[in-house]
Copies of this chain bind each other. A is one copy, B any other.
Amino acid sequence: MKIAILAGDGIGPEIVAQAVRVLQALRSDGLKFELEPGLLGGCAVEAAGEPFPEVTRKLVADADAVLLGAVGGPQYDALPRRQRPEQGLLSIRRMLNLFANLRPAILHPELANASTLKPEVVAGLDILIVRELTGDIYFGEPRGIERRDGQRVGYNTMIYSEAEIRRIAHVAFQAARKRNRRLCSVDKMNVLECTQLWRDVVTETAKEYPDVELSHMLVDNAAMQLVRNPRQFDVVVTGNMFGDILSDEASMLTGSIGMLPSASLDDRSKGLYEPIHGSAPDIAGKDVANPLATILSAAMMLRYTFDEEAAAVRIESAVKKVLAGGYRTRDIYEPGTKKVGTAAMGDAVLANI
Contact = CB atoms under 8 A, between A and B. Distances in A.
Interface string A192-233: 111111101100000000000000000111011111110000
Contacts of A226: 249
25 contacts: A86-B191, A116-B229, A117-B118, A117-B227, A118-B118, A143-B192, A144-B193, A151-B161, A151-B162, A151-B163, A155-B157, A155-B160, A155-B193, A156-B158, A188-B241, A219-B245, A220-B244, A220-B247, A223-B223, A223-B245, A223-B246, A224-B251, A227-B227, A228-B252, A249-B249
Contacts of A245: 219-220, 223, 242, 245
B194 A219 contact: no
B162 A152 contact: yes
Contacts of A137: 137, 158, 191-192
Which of A225, A242, A248, A255 neighbours the largest number of chain B CB atoms within 10 Å of its CB? A248
Contacts of A158: 137, 155-158
A221 to B, nearest CB: 7
A160 B145 CA distance: 10
B249 A224 contact: yes
Contacts of A161: 148, 151-153
Nearest to A194: B154
A345 to B, nearest CB: 22
Given A227-B253, A244-B220, A249-B227, A198 B116 contact: no
